[in-house]
Structure 1
Amino acid sequence: MRRTRIAGTGSYLPEKILTNADLERMVETSDEWITARTGIRERHIAAPGEFTSDLATEAGRRALAMAGVAADEIDLIIVATVTGDFSWPATACVVQHNLQAGRAFAFDISAACSGFLYGMSIADSYIKAGSAKKVLLIGAEVFSRIVDWQDRGTCILFGDGAGAAVLVAGEGDHGLLSCHLHADGSFWPLLYQMGQGSRNPAAPASAEQGNPFVQMQGNEVFKVAVRSLCEAGEEALDANGLHADDVDMLIPHQANRRILEATAKRLGIPLERVMVNVDRVGNTSAASIPIALDEAHRSGRIKQGDTLLLNAFGGGFTWGAALIRW
């Protein structure tokens, strides 16, 4: 049976680290307040002149090196991001140029924090259809450019980074077992960014355009997130005839520690089997899962034959889960 498997992973975090102590000097907050509510202690911030495509390129380069795949062997590049270099062209096209992956077609997808899982499902479809044999899937964000650094409800949460995986066609029982995606657009007013879209085109500022930064109603997002993450996780397990005890590692979107803990508890997965790095990287949106996956992989926490459950929830609302047998 043809399955999509992960041949290599990679990630990149900018050098600059912004700690909670640094934030205390920027906005009315404290390390104690941030840590208690989010579990985040520090996050990485892109340097001036460092863009989403730069982070994505480096993460992709590291994933290709691990997989032993040359850039010119890649058939497709997908970049999941809501903070691309431009409205258009796609950041994936910039990455394709940077890597000199000239034979690959390339596009971006926008599904916020669920973007990497959405991209995995798309890549899986291309691979199973035989339209692509090797896919470079990247989640990359520079959220520091779209948050209001005077809004303590959002600026404490987000960090910059990129993660990548090389997906290839394989045979047998190992690889992506299934992917389950959902969305409910009725919730979009709870988490969004106006930016520059058809509702807010590039023009002199006006009252009609509204606040250009990330807007979030945190308590309401929390309630829907935990329920949706658990339902998607259970859906993935049920579809494969598995139970929580069969999961060797849960790799969730690193939104905040309270959501991680609540989700793991409701799914019945002990915290020692949950990959957590939100304390060191913050919420990196679409980059969150691939960064955590790469860290778990390179640190030896993932072993051949392990069953991994990945789940994510993000603006839109979008959410989903994937099961992988390593």
Structure 2
Amino acid sequence: MTSKITGVGNYIPGETITNLFFDQHVFFSENGIPLKDDNASITEKLKKITGIEERRYAGKDQVTSDLGLIAAEAAIKDAGIDPETLDYIIFAHNFGDVRFGTIQSDAVPSLAARVKHQLKIKNNFCVAYDVLFGCPGWIEGMIQAHAFIKSGIAKRCLVIGAETLSRVVDVHDRDSMIYADGAGAVVIEQNEQDGSGIKSHLSASYTLNEKDFLYFGKSYNNESCPDTKYIKMDGRKIYEFALLRVPEAMKQCFDKSGYEISQLKKIIIHQANEKMDEAIVNRFYQLYDMPAPEHIMPMIIHKLGNSSVATIPTLLTMILKDELDTHDINEGDVVLFASVGAGMNINAVVYQF
């Protein structure tokens, strides 16, 4: 027995934010010194490194749980199930519901509980809880749902990943241009009928020296909101860590699956940074003494930015719904999911469709 995805859904917010949006921003270094480069040069450099040309922001009247609800409804409809039959609703996020114009996090009750309420589920034994695991949170939710199903605790789960990172960024930090909003969800169920489903998984948390590579810190503009904290990252350390640790974790997970590397059809990796993701995938294949195949790694970061836990389920939905011209997934295809994020946390899943 394994667990199988039976429905997918996403929500891509309607507000498109191009790089021109940041023309009037005043960016500072981490030392509080205004950057010497003009904003056109800063955004062009960002595009070359990350691949980001546009990103999506949630509407002013929306919060993270609203986005998650829309994606969840789409996944439930796609699966053709009654929401009352769900055993678990697992909601991966990092900052709760943050209303537009504030940075106050509201995560009580849990976002999963809010979605369950909005779905009007009466079943008290449908358990709703949140996962805070950085960007790998959605994959971790999938791994937990799989464990519940394998152990016989559950037969059907809804796993949501949603975030509104645009609400928790320091507008004086150039890294703020990376972040975006979005949501994705899947229904995952017990599967005893065919060979499809989760074949192997792996999770790790590196915290001894890496805990603060992503953190909450003050604005780089020392005169702006001195007591307010925003998401911050040490980009260089994260890049070096990811290139060292993620490929080996991906290989360990893939080797556990029992498949040959020639059978791997797609790598669906967290859309964090195009250059970094390309380097991770190249190093992964180097561990097998071969070059990375063309079109192995779909990318949507160019138009959607980095929406944290939402990037992978959003991308998966787009592929399965034939919304990407150059990528598809067919019956029997073996796919490797992978992510890295705050903690520093890493995880991976091998899945056969």
Q: Do the structures match in fold with TM over 0.5?
A: yes
Deviation of 1:271 after TM superposition, in Å, equals: 4.1
Alpha-carbon distance between aligned partners in 2 of 1:34 and 1:167, rounded to the nearest angstrom: 36
**SS of residue matched to 1:189:** coil
Larger helix fraction of residues: 1
1:308 aligned residue: 335
Match of 1:156 among 177, 188, 206: 177
Q: Corresponding residue for 2:102?
A: none
Does 183-192 or 74-83 show the bigger shift? 183-192
Match of 1:235 in 2: 252
Partner amino acid, structure 2, of 1:53: S
Percent of aligned positions that are identical: 31
User: What is the identity, as a one-letter code, of the residue corresponding to 1:45?
Assistant: Y
* 1:75/1:133 contact within 8 Å kept: yes
* Residue of 296, 311, 318 corresponding to 2:319: 296
- Report what 2:121 is aligned to: 101
Residue 32 of structure 2 is aligned to residue 32 of structure 1: no
Unaligned runs of at least 5 residues, structure 2: 28-38, 98-105, 219-223, 286-291
CA shift for structure 1 position 24: 2.2
Looking at structure 1, the residues matched to 114 and 84 of structure 2 have their Cα atoms a distance apart, in angstroms, of 15
TM-score, normalized by length of structure 1? 0.92
CA distance 1:69–1:35, shift in 2 (3 Å): same
1:117 aligns with 139
Instruction: Find the partner of 1:225 among 237, 242, 247.
Output: 242
Where in structure 1 are there 5+ consecutive unaligned residues? 196-204
Is 1:57 equivalent to 2:66 in the alignment? no
Deviates more, 1:275-284 or 1:263-272: 263-272
Distance in 2, Cα, partners of 1:231 & 1:125? 23
Equivalent residues of 1:264, 1:271 under 8 A apart: no
Kept in 2: contact 1:10–1:165 (CA 8 A): yes
Amino acid at match of 1:285: S
Counterpart contact for 2:200–2:253, Cα < 8 Å: yes
**Post-superposition shift, 1:284?**
0.8
Query: Is 1:169 matched with 2:190?
Result: yes
- Distance in 2 (CA, whole Å) between partners of 1:19 and 1:286 is 21
Partner SS for 2:188: strand
Shift of 1:101: 2.4
| Alpha-carbon offset, residue 252 of structure 1 | 0.1
Distance in 2 between the 1:102 and 1:149 partners? 42
Cα pair 2:138 2:160 within 8 Å, conserved? yes
**Could you list the per-position Cα deviations for residues 239-273 of structure 1 after superposition, in whole angstroms to 9, with x for gaps in the alignment?**
12334322100000000101111011112232411
User: Of the two, which has the highest radius of gyration?
Assistant: 2
When normalised by structure 2's length, the TM-score is 0.85
Structure 1 residue runs of 4 or more that deviate by more than 6 Å after TM superposition: none
Across the aligned residues of Structure 1 and Structure 2, the Cα RMSD in angstroms comes to: 1.8
Q: 2:56, 2:180 within 8 Å by CA — same for their partners in 1?
A: yes
Quote the Cα distance in structure 2 between the aligned partners of 1:111 and 1:238: 24
Give 1:59 deviation, angstroms: 0.3
Contact 1:73/1:101, CA 8 A, preserved across alignment: no
For 2:158, which of 136, 139, 148 is the aligned residue?
Answer: 136
Q: How far apart, in 2, do the equivalents of 1:150 and 1:242 lie?
A: 47
Match of 2:302 in 1: 279
Amino acid at match of 2:343: G
**Residue 298 of structure 1: CA displacement?**
0.8
Q: What is the DSSP-based 3-state SS (H/G/I as helix, E as strand, rest coil) of the residue aligned with 1:126?
A: helix
| Partner SS state of residue 272, structure 2 | coil
Deviation at 1:25, TM superposition (A): 3.0
Cα separation, 1, equivalents of 2:146 and 2:13: 29
Question: Is contact 2:91-2:112 (8 Å) kept?
Answer: yes
Shift of the alpha carbon at 1:283? 0.9
Contact 2:200-2:254 within 8 A present in 1 as well: no
